[in-house]
Structure 1
Amino acid sequence: MPRRDPGPSVKDDELYEKLRDEGNSKEKSARIANAAAAEGRSTVGSRGGESGSYEDWTVDDLRKRAAELDIEGRSSMRKAELIDALRSH
């Protein structure tokens, strides 16, 4: 399989490729790879858990977050669909 060229904005190409191979979006992979390059992989890996589970969010809050991420079709999605879309973004 040919390597994808993420471009000059991605600072950790190896991690970016691994994340893309796992099925993560380009945006999410780049965000994680750049954070890891700036702060170190162990720091980024130990961070997280600051936000509650999406299941605890209201549909309105989920739609607001989906709007921030520009997820298409969010206005007609049910709660479970919004959660899936947010997790796979």
Structure 2
Amino acid sequence: MNSEWQERNRPHRLERRYQFPDYSSLRDFLDRAADLSEREGLYPDMGFGRDYVNITIHAEEGAEALSDSQRRFAEQLDELRGTDSAN
């Protein structure tokens, strides 16, 4: 798991913030993330501004931990973002 993701308890979740150089780059990422969500059937909470997005992936209701598919989803979001970013 990428160290940029913060794992939290109560409730169990993963959190990450991505920064973008401009709104156009952010919008492209959000569109690709929406496609990924549709394919995987996972829908994280997302809050965004002009050049950033905060993403929270919650564990399933009543689960004691995040699932492997949720962790894999976080890794796939990192791949969508690419490795050219500091955040």
TM-score, normalized by length of structure 2?
0.26
Name the structure where helix makes up a greater proportion of residues.
1
TM-score, normalising length: structure 1 = 0.26
Give the structure with higher Rg (CA). 1
Quick check: which one's strand share is greater? 2
Q: Which has the higher contact order (CA 8 A, sep 6+)?
A: 2
